[in-house]
Structure 1
Protein backbone atom coordinates (compact mmCIF):
# COMPACT_ATOMS: atom_id res chain seq x y z
CA UNK A 1 0.00 0.00 0.00
CA UNK A 2 1.28 3.49 -0.85
CA UNK A 3 2.69 5.60 1.99
CA UNK A 4 1.06 8.74 0.58
CA UNK A 5 -2.18 9.97 -0.92
CA UNK A 6 -2.07 13.27 -2.78
CA UNK A 7 -4.98 15.65 -2.30
CA UNK A 8 -5.75 16.08 -5.97
CA UNK A 9 -9.02 18.00 -5.43
CA UNK A 10 -7.67 20.69 -3.10
CA UNK A 11 -7.45 23.39 -5.77
CA UNK A 12 -11.09 22.83 -6.71
CA UNK A 13 -12.11 23.06 -3.05
CA UNK A 14 -10.11 26.02 -1.76
CA UNK A 15 -8.41 27.67 -4.73
CA UNK A 16 -4.82 26.45 -4.35
CA UNK A 17 -3.17 23.06 -4.34
CA UNK A 18 -1.33 20.85 -1.91
CA UNK A 19 2.35 21.40 -1.15
CA UNK A 20 4.69 18.51 -0.46
CA UNK A 21 6.40 19.21 2.88
CA UNK A 22 9.73 17.44 2.49
CA UNK A 23 11.16 17.81 5.99
CA UNK A 24 10.76 14.47 7.75
CA UNK A 25 10.26 12.59 4.50
CA UNK A 26 12.97 10.28 3.24
CA UNK A 27 14.58 10.66 -0.17
CA UNK A 28 12.75 7.52 -1.22
CA UNK A 29 9.39 8.96 -0.14
CA UNK A 30 9.95 12.27 -1.95
CA UNK A 31 11.07 10.37 -5.04
CA UNK A 32 8.00 8.12 -4.97
CA UNK A 33 5.67 11.12 -4.72
CA UNK A 34 7.31 12.88 -7.66
CA UNK A 35 7.45 9.74 -9.79
CA UNK A 36 3.80 8.88 -9.12
CA UNK A 37 2.80 11.46 -11.74
CA UNK A 38 5.79 13.17 -13.39
CA UNK A 39 3.53 15.39 -15.46
CA UNK A 40 1.67 16.84 -12.49
CA UNK A 41 2.66 20.31 -11.28
CA UNK A 42 3.67 20.07 -7.61
CA UNK A 43 5.08 22.52 -5.09
CA UNK A 44 7.66 21.23 -2.61
CA UNK A 45 8.71 23.03 0.57
CA UNK A 46 11.60 22.48 3.00
CA UNK A 47 13.60 20.50 0.47
CA UNK A 48 17.06 20.82 1.98
CA UNK A 49 20.14 20.87 -0.28
CA UNK A 50 21.40 17.44 0.82
CA UNK A 51 18.02 15.84 0.18
CA UNK A 52 17.68 17.58 -3.19
CA UNK A 53 21.14 16.36 -4.26
CA UNK A 54 20.27 12.82 -3.14
CA UNK A 55 17.25 12.61 -5.44
CA UNK A 56 17.75 10.60 -8.64
CA UNK A 57 19.08 12.69 -11.50
CA UNK A 58 15.98 11.87 -13.54
CA UNK A 59 13.87 13.51 -10.81
CA UNK A 60 16.16 16.48 -10.10
CA UNK A 61 16.17 17.54 -13.73
CA UNK A 62 12.38 18.06 -13.57
CA UNK A 63 12.57 20.36 -10.55
CA UNK A 64 12.94 24.11 -10.36
CA UNK A 65 14.76 24.21 -7.00
CA UNK A 66 15.62 27.39 -5.14
CA UNK A 67 18.62 27.19 -2.77
CA UNK A 68 17.52 30.22 -0.73
CA UNK A 69 14.01 29.13 0.23
CA UNK A 70 14.55 25.36 -0.19
CA UNK A 71 11.42 25.22 -2.30
CA UNK A 72 10.98 23.47 -5.62
CA UNK A 73 8.29 22.88 -8.14
CA UNK A 74 7.74 20.13 -10.65
CA UNK A 75 6.07 21.21 -13.86
CA UNK A 76 5.03 24.72 -14.77
CA UNK A 77 3.65 27.20 -12.24
CA UNK A 78 0.28 28.77 -12.91
CA UNK A 79 0.53 31.61 -15.45
CA UNK A 80 0.66 35.20 -14.27
CA UNK A 81 -2.20 37.55 -15.15
CA UNK A 82 -1.44 39.49 -18.32
CA UNK A 83 -2.43 42.97 -17.21
CA UNK A 84 -2.50 43.36 -13.44
CA UNK A 85 0.71 44.06 -11.55
CA UNK A 86 1.61 42.49 -8.19
CA UNK A 87 -1.01 42.93 -5.49
CA UNK A 88 1.17 41.50 -2.73
CA UNK A 89 4.29 42.97 -1.14
CA UNK A 90 6.61 40.81 0.93
CA UNK A 91 8.63 42.86 3.40
CA UNK A 92 11.54 41.71 5.57
CA UNK A 93 13.00 43.37 8.62
CA UNK A 94 16.50 42.13 7.72
CA UNK A 95 18.34 40.11 5.11
CA UNK A 96 18.47 37.17 7.55
CA UNK A 97 14.70 36.89 7.11
CA UNK A 98 14.94 36.49 3.33
CA UNK A 99 14.79 32.64 3.22
CA UNK A 100 11.38 32.67 4.93
CA UNK A 101 10.18 35.54 2.74
CA UNK A 102 11.37 33.75 -0.39
CA UNK A 103 9.32 30.69 0.60
CA UNK A 104 6.27 32.96 0.46
CA UNK A 105 7.38 34.48 -2.84
CA UNK A 106 7.86 31.10 -4.47
CA UNK A 107 4.57 29.73 -3.14
CA UNK A 108 2.71 32.69 -4.58
CA UNK A 109 4.51 32.43 -7.92
CA UNK A 110 3.67 28.74 -8.19
CA UNK A 111 0.01 29.67 -7.71
CA UNK A 112 0.11 32.33 -10.42
CA UNK A 113 0.71 35.49 -8.40
CA UNK A 114 3.64 37.85 -8.68
CA UNK A 115 4.83 39.70 -5.60
CA UNK A 116 7.19 42.53 -4.80
CA UNK A 117 10.00 41.89 -2.30
CA UNK A 118 11.13 44.79 -0.12
CA UNK A 119 14.13 43.72 1.94
CA UNK A 120 15.90 45.08 5.02
CA UNK A 121 13.54 47.82 6.21
CA UNK A 122 13.46 46.90 9.91
CA UNK A 123 12.78 49.30 12.75
CA UNK A 124 16.46 49.61 13.71
CA UNK A 125 16.72 52.00 10.74
CA UNK A 126 13.16 53.24 10.51
CA UNK A 127 13.95 55.71 7.72
CA UNK A 128 14.35 52.74 5.37
CA UNK A 129 10.72 51.80 5.91
CA UNK A 130 9.41 55.36 5.83
CA UNK A 131 10.92 55.75 2.37
CA UNK A 132 8.65 52.93 1.13
CA UNK A 133 5.36 53.64 2.95
CA UNK A 134 3.65 55.32 -0.01
CA UNK A 135 4.55 52.32 -2.14
CA UNK A 136 3.34 49.80 0.45
CA UNK A 137 -0.02 51.51 0.74
CA UNK A 138 -0.80 50.52 -2.86
CA UNK A 139 -0.79 46.77 -2.16
CA UNK A 140 -3.86 44.77 -1.17
CA UNK A 141 -1.80 42.38 0.96
CA UNK A 142 1.48 42.99 2.78
CA UNK A 143 3.34 39.99 4.20
CA UNK A 144 5.79 41.15 6.89
CA UNK A 145 8.63 38.80 7.84
CA UNK A 146 10.61 39.71 10.97
CA UNK A 147 12.77 38.15 13.65
CA UNK A 148 14.25 39.53 16.88
CA UNK A 149 11.38 41.39 18.62
CA UNK A 150 9.33 41.35 15.38
CA UNK A 151 8.28 44.98 15.81
CA UNK A 152 8.00 45.61 12.07
CA UNK A 153 4.50 44.11 11.56
CA UNK A 154 3.08 46.42 14.24
CA UNK A 155 4.65 49.48 12.62
CA UNK A 156 3.42 48.53 9.15
CA UNK A 157 0.01 47.63 10.56
CA UNK A 158 -0.38 51.22 11.68
CA UNK A 159 0.63 52.67 8.31
CA UNK A 160 -1.06 50.70 5.53
CA UNK A 161 -4.73 49.94 4.80
CA UNK A 162 -4.26 46.51 3.22
CA UNK A 163 -4.31 43.10 4.82
CA UNK A 164 -1.16 42.59 6.93
CA UNK A 165 0.07 39.03 7.40
CA UNK A 166 2.93 38.72 9.89
CA UNK A 167 5.54 35.95 9.91
CA UNK A 168 7.79 35.81 12.98
CA UNK A 169 11.13 34.18 12.24
CA UNK A 170 13.59 32.28 14.38
CA UNK A 171 16.28 34.91 13.70
CA UNK A 172 17.74 36.48 16.82
CA UNK A 173 19.94 36.26 19.90
CA UNK A 174 19.15 34.75 23.28
CA UNK A 175 15.46 34.76 24.17
CA UNK A 176 14.60 35.90 20.62
CA UNK A 177 16.11 32.77 19.08
CA UNK A 178 13.50 30.24 18.10
CA UNK A 179 11.00 32.95 17.23
CA UNK A 180 8.70 32.70 20.26
CA UNK A 181 9.51 36.25 21.42
CA UNK A 182 8.56 37.59 18.00
CA UNK A 183 5.39 35.50 17.84
CA UNK A 184 4.25 36.70 21.27
CA UNK A 185 5.06 40.32 20.37
CA UNK A 186 2.94 40.18 17.21
CA UNK A 187 0.06 38.49 19.01
CA UNK A 188 0.21 41.29 21.60
CA UNK A 189 0.43 44.03 18.97
CA UNK A 190 -1.61 47.18 19.50
CA UNK A 191 -2.00 47.55 15.71
CA UNK A 192 -5.46 46.06 15.11
CA UNK A 193 -6.28 43.42 12.54
CA UNK A 194 -2.87 41.85 11.94
CA UNK A 195 -2.98 38.21 10.88
CA UNK A 196 -0.20 36.04 12.34
CA UNK A 197 1.10 32.70 11.08
CA UNK A 198 3.50 30.29 12.71
CA UNK A 199 7.23 30.86 13.15
CA UNK A 200 9.21 30.70 9.86
CA UNK A 201 6.02 29.77 7.99
CA UNK A 202 6.42 31.67 4.74
CA UNK A 203 4.32 29.04 2.99
CA UNK A 204 1.43 29.58 5.41
CA UNK A 205 1.60 33.35 4.94
CA UNK A 206 1.40 32.92 1.17
CA UNK A 207 -1.62 30.62 1.55
CA UNK A 208 -3.33 33.23 3.74
CA UNK A 209 -2.66 35.81 1.02
CA UNK A 210 -4.10 33.45 -1.60
CA UNK A 211 -7.28 33.10 0.43
CA UNK A 212 -7.61 36.90 0.56
CA UNK A 213 -7.09 37.29 -3.19
CA UNK A 214 -9.47 34.41 -3.96
CA UNK A 215 -12.13 36.04 -1.77
CA UNK A 216 -11.67 39.35 -3.59
CA UNK A 217 -11.96 37.59 -6.94
CA UNK A 218 -15.14 35.80 -5.85
CA UNK A 219 -16.62 39.09 -4.62
CA UNK A 220 -15.85 40.81 -7.91
CA UNK A 221 -17.55 38.01 -9.82
CA UNK A 222 -20.68 38.13 -7.67
CA UNK A 223 -21.12 41.92 -7.53
CA UNK A 224 -22.22 43.56 -10.81
CA UNK A 225 -20.05 46.46 -11.94
Structure 2
Protein backbone atom coordinates (compact mmCIF):
# COMPACT_ATOMS: atom_id res chain seq x y z
CA UNK A 1 0.00 0.00 0.00
CA UNK A 2 1.12 3.56 -0.63
CA UNK A 3 0.54 6.47 1.75
CA UNK A 4 -2.71 7.61 0.18
CA UNK A 5 -4.13 4.08 0.16
CA UNK A 6 -3.41 3.70 3.89
CA UNK A 7 -5.03 7.05 4.68
CA UNK A 8 -8.07 6.23 2.55
CA UNK A 9 -8.51 2.94 4.41
CA UNK A 10 -8.40 4.82 7.73
CA UNK A 11 -10.94 7.33 6.40
CA UNK A 12 -13.29 4.55 5.29
CA UNK A 13 -12.88 2.72 8.60
CA UNK A 14 -11.30 -0.32 6.95
CA UNK A 15 -8.24 -0.17 9.22
CA UNK A 16 -7.67 1.44 12.60
CA UNK A 17 -5.41 4.38 13.39
CA UNK A 18 -3.16 1.96 15.29
CA UNK A 19 -2.82 -0.28 12.21
CA UNK A 20 -1.96 2.73 10.06
CA UNK A 21 0.57 3.89 12.62
CA UNK A 22 2.17 0.45 12.58
CA UNK A 23 2.46 0.68 8.78
CA UNK A 24 4.25 4.05 8.90
CA UNK A 25 6.59 2.89 11.66
CA UNK A 26 7.97 0.06 9.55
CA UNK A 27 11.64 0.34 8.64
CA UNK A 28 12.22 2.11 5.30
CA UNK A 29 13.89 -1.02 3.95
CA UNK A 30 13.79 -4.76 4.59
CA UNK A 31 17.17 -6.28 5.41
CA UNK A 32 17.53 -9.68 3.73
CA UNK A 33 21.30 -10.02 3.96
CA UNK A 34 21.83 -10.33 0.20
CA UNK A 35 19.32 -7.55 -0.56
CA UNK A 36 17.88 -4.47 1.08
CA UNK A 37 14.38 -3.97 -0.28
CA UNK A 38 13.32 -0.33 -0.47
CA UNK A 39 9.82 -0.62 0.98
CA UNK A 40 9.25 3.15 1.15
CA UNK A 41 10.23 3.91 -2.43
CA UNK A 42 6.61 4.35 -3.51
CA UNK A 43 6.03 6.80 -0.66
CA UNK A 44 9.02 8.89 -1.78
CA UNK A 45 8.80 8.59 -5.55
CA UNK A 46 5.34 7.28 -6.41
CA UNK A 47 6.78 4.07 -7.85
CA UNK A 48 7.37 0.76 -6.03
CA UNK A 49 10.69 -1.05 -6.29
CA UNK A 50 11.14 -3.12 -9.45
CA UNK A 51 13.28 -6.28 -9.71
CA UNK A 52 16.12 -6.52 -12.22
CA UNK A 53 16.03 -10.30 -12.65
CA UNK A 54 19.04 -10.94 -14.86
CA UNK A 55 21.95 -12.44 -12.95
CA UNK A 56 20.00 -13.04 -9.74
CA UNK A 57 20.34 -16.46 -8.14
CA UNK A 58 17.10 -18.42 -7.77
CA UNK A 59 17.64 -18.55 -4.01
CA UNK A 60 17.65 -14.74 -3.97
CA UNK A 61 14.99 -14.01 -6.57
CA UNK A 62 12.20 -16.09 -5.01
CA UNK A 63 12.29 -14.44 -1.55
CA UNK A 64 12.56 -10.98 -3.14
CA UNK A 65 9.47 -11.60 -5.28
CA UNK A 66 7.64 -13.03 -2.26
CA UNK A 67 8.41 -10.05 -0.02
CA UNK A 68 7.51 -7.38 -2.59
CA UNK A 69 4.32 -9.20 -3.54
CA UNK A 70 3.27 -9.49 0.09
CA UNK A 71 3.94 -5.80 0.67
CA UNK A 72 2.41 -4.35 -2.50
CA UNK A 73 -0.02 -6.95 -3.83
CA UNK A 74 1.83 -6.84 -7.14
CA UNK A 75 5.36 -7.25 -8.45
CA UNK A 76 7.24 -6.31 -11.61
CA UNK A 77 10.52 -7.75 -12.91
CA UNK A 78 12.64 -6.87 -15.93
CA UNK A 79 15.17 -8.89 -17.94
CA UNK A 80 13.78 -12.18 -16.67
CA UNK A 81 14.61 -15.52 -18.28
CA UNK A 82 12.21 -18.27 -19.28
CA UNK A 83 13.76 -20.46 -16.58
CA UNK A 84 13.10 -17.84 -13.90
CA UNK A 85 9.51 -17.54 -15.05
CA UNK A 86 8.92 -21.31 -14.98
CA UNK A 87 10.37 -21.49 -11.49
CA UNK A 88 8.21 -18.65 -10.14
CA UNK A 89 5.12 -20.00 -11.90
CA UNK A 90 5.29 -23.08 -9.66
CA UNK A 91 4.81 -20.75 -6.67
CA UNK A 92 2.62 -18.07 -8.26
CA UNK A 93 0.44 -19.59 -11.01
CA UNK A 94 -0.98 -16.14 -11.80
CA UNK A 95 2.40 -14.68 -12.76
CA UNK A 96 2.65 -13.42 -16.35
CA UNK A 97 5.69 -13.49 -18.61
CA UNK A 98 6.38 -11.86 -21.96
CA UNK A 99 9.20 -13.59 -23.87
CA UNK A 100 9.66 -10.57 -26.15
CA UNK A 101 10.32 -7.93 -23.49
CA UNK A 102 11.47 -10.46 -20.84
CA UNK A 103 9.13 -8.86 -18.31
CA UNK A 104 7.42 -10.88 -15.61
CA UNK A 105 4.70 -9.47 -13.40
CA UNK A 106 1.84 -10.12 -11.04
CA UNK A 107 -0.74 -7.36 -11.25
CA UNK A 108 -3.53 -6.43 -8.89
CA UNK A 109 -6.87 -7.93 -9.90
CA UNK A 110 -8.52 -4.51 -9.72
CA UNK A 111 -5.94 -2.95 -12.03
CA UNK A 112 -7.21 0.40 -13.29
CA UNK A 113 -7.32 1.42 -16.93
CA UNK A 114 -4.33 3.45 -18.11
CA UNK A 115 -4.53 7.24 -18.10
CA UNK A 116 -3.02 9.97 -20.23
CA UNK A 117 -1.10 8.89 -23.32
CA UNK A 118 2.44 7.84 -24.16
CA UNK A 119 3.42 7.07 -27.76
CA UNK A 120 6.06 4.36 -28.11
CA UNK A 121 7.61 4.37 -31.58
CA UNK A 122 10.22 2.10 -33.12
CA UNK A 123 12.34 2.53 -36.20
CA UNK A 124 12.17 -1.17 -37.05
CA UNK A 125 10.64 -4.46 -35.99
CA UNK A 126 13.95 -5.58 -34.46
CA UNK A 127 13.63 -2.72 -31.94
CA UNK A 128 10.32 -4.04 -30.56
CA UNK A 129 11.79 -6.01 -27.60
CA UNK A 130 13.23 -2.81 -26.11
CA UNK A 131 10.09 -0.86 -27.02
CA UNK A 132 7.90 -3.45 -25.31
CA UNK A 133 9.99 -3.14 -22.16
CA UNK A 134 9.26 0.59 -22.24
CA UNK A 135 5.59 0.22 -23.14
CA UNK A 136 4.82 -2.46 -20.56
CA UNK A 137 6.70 -0.56 -17.86
CA UNK A 138 4.59 2.53 -18.53
CA UNK A 139 1.39 0.48 -18.57
CA UNK A 140 2.26 -1.23 -15.30
CA UNK A 141 2.74 2.18 -13.70
CA UNK A 142 -0.70 3.31 -14.88
CA UNK A 143 -0.16 5.02 -18.24
CA UNK A 144 -2.08 4.47 -21.45
CA UNK A 145 0.27 3.52 -24.28
CA UNK A 146 -0.08 3.77 -28.06
CA UNK A 147 2.34 1.48 -29.92
CA UNK A 148 3.54 2.77 -33.29
CA UNK A 149 6.08 0.30 -34.63
CA UNK A 150 8.27 0.11 -37.74
CA UNK A 151 8.13 3.78 -38.74
CA UNK A 152 11.84 4.44 -39.29
CA UNK A 153 13.44 6.91 -41.67
CA UNK A 154 13.92 4.32 -44.42
CA UNK A 155 10.21 4.86 -45.16
CA UNK A 156 9.33 8.16 -43.51
CA UNK A 157 5.81 8.17 -45.00
CA UNK A 158 4.93 5.39 -42.52
CA UNK A 159 5.61 7.79 -39.66
CA UNK A 160 3.58 10.63 -41.16
CA UNK A 161 0.58 8.30 -41.45
CA UNK A 162 0.49 8.05 -37.63
CA UNK A 163 1.56 11.59 -36.80
CA UNK A 164 -1.79 12.66 -35.30
CA UNK A 165 -1.66 9.90 -32.69
CA UNK A 166 1.95 10.75 -31.85
CA UNK A 167 1.24 14.46 -31.47
CA UNK A 168 -1.66 13.74 -29.09
CA UNK A 169 0.64 12.03 -26.58
CA UNK A 170 1.98 13.68 -23.42
CA UNK A 171 5.35 12.07 -24.11
CA UNK A 172 6.97 10.21 -27.00
CA UNK A 173 9.47 7.35 -26.75
CA UNK A 174 11.64 6.85 -29.84
CA UNK A 175 13.35 3.45 -29.97
CA UNK A 176 15.92 2.96 -32.72
CA UNK A 177 19.09 1.12 -33.57
CA UNK A 178 21.26 1.48 -36.70
CA UNK A 179 22.01 5.24 -36.96
CA UNK A 180 19.22 6.22 -34.51
CA UNK A 181 17.73 9.00 -36.63
CA UNK A 182 14.11 8.45 -35.57
CA UNK A 183 14.47 10.48 -32.36
CA UNK A 184 15.67 13.57 -34.24
CA UNK A 185 12.81 13.33 -36.73
CA UNK A 186 10.23 13.04 -33.95
CA UNK A 187 11.86 15.86 -31.99
CA UNK A 188 11.16 18.19 -34.89
CA UNK A 189 7.53 17.12 -35.25
CA UNK A 190 6.07 17.23 -31.73
CA UNK A 191 5.73 19.79 -28.93
CA UNK A 192 6.12 17.20 -26.15
CA UNK A 193 9.26 15.64 -24.65
CA UNK A 194 10.90 12.87 -26.67
CA UNK A 195 12.79 10.13 -24.85
CA UNK A 196 15.32 8.56 -27.19
CA UNK A 197 16.26 4.91 -26.62
CA UNK A 198 19.23 3.66 -28.65
CA UNK A 199 19.19 -0.09 -29.25
CA UNK A 200 22.02 -2.50 -29.97
CA UNK A 201 20.38 -3.43 -33.30
CA UNK A 202 22.59 -2.93 -36.34
CA UNK A 203 25.59 -4.04 -38.34
CA UNK A 204 29.24 -3.90 -37.27
CA UNK A 205 29.81 -0.16 -37.40
CA UNK A 206 26.78 0.43 -35.20
CA UNK A 207 29.02 -0.85 -32.39
CA UNK A 208 26.20 -2.52 -30.47
CA UNK A 209 24.22 0.68 -30.12
CA UNK A 210 26.97 3.23 -29.61
CA UNK A 211 26.35 4.72 -33.06
CA UNK A 212 22.65 5.27 -32.29
CA UNK A 213 23.52 6.59 -28.83
CA UNK A 214 25.91 9.19 -30.26
CA UNK A 215 23.38 10.27 -32.88
CA UNK A 216 20.69 10.75 -30.24
CA UNK A 217 22.78 12.70 -27.75
CA UNK A 218 24.11 14.89 -30.58
CA UNK A 219 20.68 15.60 -32.05
CA UNK A 220 20.05 19.15 -33.22
CA UNK A 221 16.31 18.75 -32.56
CA UNK A 222 15.07 20.25 -29.30
CA UNK A 223 13.27 18.49 -26.47
CA UNK A 224 15.10 15.16 -26.70
CA UNK A 225 16.54 13.30 -23.70
CA UNK A 226 18.47 10.06 -24.20
CA UNK A 227 18.66 7.01 -21.96
CA UNK A 228 21.20 4.20 -22.06
CA UNK A 229 21.45 1.59 -24.81
CA UNK A 230 18.52 -0.88 -24.69
CA UNK A 231 17.15 0.81 -21.53
CA UNK A 232 13.44 0.45 -22.27
CA UNK A 233 12.61 0.30 -18.57
CA UNK A 234 14.24 3.67 -17.89
CA UNK A 235 12.37 5.25 -20.79
CA UNK A 236 9.02 3.85 -19.65
CA UNK A 237 9.59 5.10 -16.11
CA UNK A 238 10.52 8.66 -17.15
CA UNK A 239 7.70 8.78 -19.68
CA UNK A 240 5.24 7.87 -16.92
CA UNK A 241 6.55 10.72 -14.77
CA UNK A 242 6.04 13.14 -17.67
CA UNK A 243 2.60 11.69 -18.42
CA UNK A 244 1.54 12.19 -14.81
CA UNK A 245 2.71 15.81 -14.93
CA UNK A 246 0.75 16.34 -18.13
CA UNK A 247 -2.40 15.02 -16.47
CA UNK A 248 -1.94 17.34 -13.49
CA UNK A 249 -1.64 20.34 -15.81
CA UNK A 250 -4.85 19.39 -17.61
TM-score, normalised to structure 1's length? 0.89
**Secondary structure of 1:180's match?**
helix
- Confirm whether residue 26 of structure 1 aligns to residue 49 of structure 2: no
User: Could you tell me how far 1:217 is from its partner in structure 2?
Assistant: 4.4
**Which residues of 2 match residues 61-72 of structure 1 at below 5 A?**
61-72=93-104
Q: Which has the larger radius of gyration?
A: 2
CA distance in 2, matches of 1:37, 1:140: 30
Q: Which residue of 2 aligns with 1:97?
A: 127
CA distance in 2, matches of 1:163, 1:69: 24
Q: Is the 8 Å Cα contact of residues 171 and 177 (structure 1) preserved in structure 2?
A: no
Deviations 1:110-138, CA, capped at 9 Å, x for gaps: 11112010010000111111211222111
Aligned with 1:31: secondary structure? helix
Distance in 2 between residues matched to 1:13 and 1:3, nearest whole Å: 23
Correspondence 1:1-225 to 2 at 5 A: 2-36=33-67, 38-39=69-70, 40-55=73-88, 57-59=90-92, 61-76=93-108, 78-81=111-114, 86-219=116-249
**Partners of 2:213 and 2:191 in 1: how far apart?**
22
Which digits, 9 at most, give the CA deviation of each residue in 1:182-216, with x for residues without a partner? 00100010101201101101100011112212333
**Structure 2 runs not aligned, ≥5 long:** 1-31
Question: Alpha-carbon deviation of 1:10?
Answer: 1.2
1:192–1:56 Cα change, 3 Å: closer
Which deviates more, 88-97 or 38-47?
Answer: 38-47
Q: For 2:149 and 2:107, locate their aligned partners in 1 and report how far apart those are by CA, in whole Å.
A: 29
Quick one: structure 1 residues 27 and 189, their matched pair in 2 at CA, closer, same or farther if it must change by over 3 Å? same
Which deviates more from structure 2 when the two are superposed, residues 31-40 or residues 41-50?
31-40
Q: How many Å apart are 1:218 and its aligned residue? A: 4.8
- 1:138-191 deviations in Å (ceiling 9; x for gaps): 111010100000000000100111111110000000021411110010001010
Q: Which runs of 4+ in 1 moved over 6 A?
A: none
Please give the alpha-carbon distance, in whole angstroms, between the structure 2 residues aligned to 1:218 and 1:134.
22
**Cα separation, 2, equivalents of 1:164 and 1:37:** 32
Which 5+ residue runs of structure 1 have no aligned equivalent?
Answer: 221-225
Query: Is the partner of 1:6 in helix, strand or coil?
Result: strand
Q: 1:89 to 1:215 in 2, by over 3 A?
A: same
Tell me, yes or no, if the aligned pair for 1:64 and 1:74 is still in contact at 8 Å: yes
Counterparts of 1:145 and 1:46, CA distance in 2 = 17
Over the aligned positions, Cα root-mean-square deviation in angstroms equals 1.8
